[in-house]
Structure 1
Amino acid sequence: MHPHPGRRAVFAALPLITLPARAQDAFPSRPITIINAYAAGGQTDIAARLTADRLATAIGQRVMVENRVGGATSIASTAVMQARPDGYTLLAGTSSLAINPTLQPRLTPRNPQAELAPVGMVYRGAFVLHIYPGLPARTLPEFIAYAKAHPGALNYGGVVGTVVHLAMEMLCQRAGIEMTAVPNRGGAEGLLDLQAGRIHCNFQSPVEALASLHEGRTRALAMSSRQRLANLPDVPTVAETLPGFEAVLWMALFAPIGTPEPVISTVAGALNSVTESRDYQARMAQIGLTAESGGPSDVRTRLAADTANWGRVITEAGIRTD
């Protein structure tokens, strides 16, 4: 049987009906995950979770922290680099992003400035340079003079490749002194070594060092930040003796490359409202950190400057991790 001769003409005459496209959900329409490279319970993890809680209120969605520890922070970074660029997976990136390209160039990201999209600053953390009280020095200039008079006789502690380790190497380079690095497993071990005189000096988180300083078991000489700290107002900065010196641990949020600019702007705006709040600033101060505001351009500037600075320090000191 042949089809009705006029059927094709009838179909052709029907108007084309276009169904409306489903409107794209406004961002954010579901929970956001922040990937953190550090173990639960530490200062960095506490800061990440505090930030996530406040960010959730500011952005109107749940914000979770997921710990992916290992690979000198590369496991967490790689997870974010490979995530869908939609703003729902972010990295709590730290100073390691500026250190690893020179210290451990085989790790990913090899070039964080090109492989991650900056979102906004979160905090910075300074360190106090304190010494074994048996040393005669009471100021940084006196300490430098003593070290020059006793080349190679002093040693310091630190986890290899961390900011506290590199800060001490930078101090040696800028001051023209020679000291020996004594690797340890972290702040608590370093503090015990310093109190016992097994090492002579150390850069340490103020929160970790305060009790020891107040008890006179160690002696503070200087802060690694450009400004003095409110809770240690009488301790000068290293920069007051060696102009331009700064060594801080920082955190910033990053997104996968290709994340839409409006999405990044939304997160950056919400994050700034968090870091600028007095309550958040007070809570961060309690754990020894300083809240820092700033958008993508501020993160780029910090990352580029620290990558160049730590690269020079590592290369000049000949530091290796293998």
Structure 2
Amino acid sequence: MPMPLHRRALLAAPLLLSPLARAGAAEAFPERAISVVSGYAPGGVTDITSRAVAERMGQALSVPMVVENRAGAATAVANTAVAQARPDGYTLLMGTSTLAINPALQPSLTPKEPMRELAPIGMVFRTAFVLHVHPSVPAKTTAELIAWCRSNPGKLNFGSSGTGAVNHLALALFAQRAGIEVTHIPYKGGAPALLDLRAGRIGAMFQAVLEALPSLREGGTRGLAISSAERSALLPELPPVAEAVPGFDVVFWQGLFAPAGTPEPVLARLGGALTTATGDAALRARMAEHGVVITTGDAAALRQTLAAETTLWGELIRTANIRPD
């Protein structure tokens, strides 16, 4: 028997009203506190920046934004928690370069497809690494270091804060593009690696700017270059590695993400607040003191960064046969 017209209309009504209801909810967003999940422990530069940006965004949105630290599994604990959260804009991720690294380095970790499982909101910051060496290394420029390594293949012990860390991948990319052979010595963090670099037990390292600054200023190590395409405000005398290795541009980055499926109006509201935060002159100046370059970039810029680095690091990890410890 055909269904009566009025009954069909009543059954169809929720489907017709559903988009309107969703739009209304998006217009009212946010109505309560927003959780911002970080995959790093409290106290580091990543955490400090996350809290500063979240606080400024909260001011713009007129609601608290609370940072939750969920460290573990190369940030996969935090990444997965947000990828699997309700896509309503109230649970966000301060994602980092690890989203581009983990799929190739540790394919068992989730989310397995960050490009599909997370929705980009915008860029937050970039921070470069300093290429510095022990004073006994006979090189005062990147070009001289490359020349010495070519004449002494495998003799330079090159440290990192751990296998698969961004500064390790910077080293691997540097060696590949410069056509040199070095010996990688991984550590559990940048601090113990720096101690051995100062002691001469390793000869070189790409290190976070703030970690390297005291040693550089005391003369314990010698700075050769900066890993980003542009110079660092804290070390303006150091040229980019790219002057010796064209196209080299390696940084640790952070961006804000939401679960995939978050309504576009909500993403736009969050993106506007993020732009306000990252454009705040006082915030930018405060973070610059930590060696962090606050970056104003929209969802498209973050999506492009994640896509490009997923390809870059994936190819490098496979060709260099990099495996986690």
The TM-score, its normalising length taken from structure 1, stands at: 0.92
- Ranges in structure 2 where 5+ consecutive residues have no aligned partner: 1-19
Residue number in structure 2 paired with 1:83: 85
What amino acid sits opposite 1:247 in the alignment? V
Q: Highest Rg: 1 or 2?
A: 1
* Residues 50-199 of structure 1: pairs in structure 2 closer than 5 A: 50-158=52-160, 159-199=162-202
Residue number in structure 2 paired with 1:306: 309
Distance in 2 (alpha carbons) for counterparts of 1:232 and 1:299: 26
* Residues 198-237 of structure 1: pairs in structure 2 closer than 5 A: 198-237=201-240
Structure 1, residues 177-232: CA drift from partner, whole Å, max 9, x if none? 11111110111111111000111100111111111111111000110000011221
Indicate which of 252, 277, 280 corresponds to 1:274: 277
Residue number in structure 2 paired with 1:315: 318
* Residues 8-19 of structure 1: pairs in structure 2 closer than 5 A: none
Deviation at 1:174, TM superposition (A): 0.5
Residue number in structure 2 paired with 1:35: 37
Residue number in structure 1 paired with 2:7: none
Deviation at 1:43, TM superposition (A): 1.4
Does structure 1 retain, via aligned residues, the 8 Å contact 2:275–2:297? yes
Distance in 2 (alpha carbons) for counterparts of 1:73 and 1:228: 29
Distance in 2 (alpha carbons) for counterparts of 1:43 and 1:229: 16
Structure 1, residues 280-322: CA drift from partner, whole Å, max 9, x if none? 1111111111000111101110001111111121112111115
Deviation at 1:49, TM superposition (A): 0.9
Deviation at 1:234, TM superposition (A): 1.2
What amino acid sits opposite 1:224 in the alignment? S
Deviation at 1:73, TM superposition (A): 1.0
Does structure 1 retain, via aligned residues, the 8 Å contact 2:234–2:291? no
- Residue 262 of structure 2 corresponds to residue 259 of structure 1: yes
What amino acid sits opposite 2:167 in the alignment? V
Residue number in structure 1 paired with 2:14: none
Distance in 2 (alpha carbons) for counterparts of 1:263 and 1:206: 35
Structure 1, residues 30-68: CA drift from partner, whole Å, max 9, x if none? 000000001111111111111111111111110000011
Distance in 2 (alpha carbons) for counterparts of 1:81 and 1:206: 31
What amino acid sits opposite 2:283 in the alignment? Y
Residue number in structure 2 paired with 1:44: 46
Residue number in structure 2 paired with 1:8: none
Residue number in structure 2 paired with 1:290: 293
Distance in 1 (alpha carbons) for counterparts of 2:75 and 2:138: 39
Name the SS of the counterpart of 1:136 in structure 2. coil
Residue number in structure 2 paired with 1:239: 242
- Ranges in structure 1 where 5+ consecutive residues have no aligned partner: 1-20
Tell which deviates more after alignment, 49-58 or 93-102.
Answer: 49-58
Name the SS of the counterpart of 2:296 in structure 1. coil
Name the SS of the counterpart of 2:74 in structure 1. helix
Q: CA RMSD in A?
A: 1.6
The TM-score, its normalising length taken from structure 2, stands at: 0.91
Name the SS of the counterpart of 1:100 in structure 2. helix
What amino acid sits opposite 2:50 in the alignment? A
Name the SS of the counterpart of 2:158 in structure 1. strand
Does structure 1 retain, via aligned residues, the 8 Å contact 2:122–2:255? yes
**Structure 1 runs of 4+ off > 3 angstroms?**
21-25
What amino acid sits opposite 2:297 in the alignment? G
Distance in 1 (alpha carbons) for counterparts of 2:187 and 2:55: 33
Does structure 1 retain, via aligned residues, the 8 Å contact 2:99–2:306? yes
Aligned length: 304
